[in-house]
């Protein structure tokens, strides 16, 4: 049902294939399933196309690269580039994002996208803010071979 949180857009039905389900509209707004566990699934929000593009551009502009498994980026949104990862099947790769805006209890989101890795099976295994100023996360490998490249980790805090 459409409402205030959806900017009048229809609710998104659960995706049968997983991932983000989007319903474009003639108003320039898009319904997105956030996959939030806070209520009945799916949770639908209605960002405008401009808001989506702004988030993407923020991530492009605010970027950092992991060095010794740590990157510092004190921005609300951004993208971290990993070094080449060769995590074995069934193992995890741990990394840290140092961010002064990330405090205990603050909502945050991370995602994972392969850049040069060609092995299927990488997934964001865990992510927490156990200590204010530090996002600790792990990338898991559920594939059939070791990971073999770099990844982007887009994030948003707050």
What's the burial of 96, exposed, middle or buried (CB within 10 Å: 0-12/13-18/19+)?
Answer: middle
User: With bands split at pLDDT 50, 70 and 90, how would you rate the model's confidence at 74?
Assistant: very high
pLDDT, tens digit (0-9, with 9 covering 90-100), for 23-57: 445 555 555 555 544 545 445 556 666 666 666 76
- Give CATH for domain 59-157: 2.60.120
pLDDT, tens digit (0-9, with 9 covering 90-100), for 92-104: 999 999 999 999 9
Domain boundaries, the chain: 4-47, 59-157
Closest CA to 90 of 122, 132, 127: 122
């Amino acid at each position: 049902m459409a409402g205030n949180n959806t900017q009048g857009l229809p609710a998104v039905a659960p995706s049968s294939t997983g991932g983000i389900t989007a319903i474009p509209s003639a108003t320039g707004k898009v319904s997105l399933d956030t996959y939030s566990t806070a209520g009945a699934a799916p949770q639908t929000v209605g960002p405008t196309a401009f808001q989506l593009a702004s988030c993407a551009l923020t991530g492009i502009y605010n970027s950092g690269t992991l060095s010794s498994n740590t990157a510092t980026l004190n921005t609300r949104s951004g993208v971290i580039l990993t070094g080449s990862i060769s995590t074995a099947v069934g193992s995890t790769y741990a990394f840290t994002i140092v961010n002064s805006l990330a405090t205990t209890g603050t909502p945050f989101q991370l995602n994972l996208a392969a850049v040069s890795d060609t092995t299927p099976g990488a997934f964001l295994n865990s992510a927490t803010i156990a200590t204010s100023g530090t996002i600790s996360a792990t990338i898991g490998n559920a594939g059939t071979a070791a990971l073999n490249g770099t990844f982007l980790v887009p994030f948003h805090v707050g």
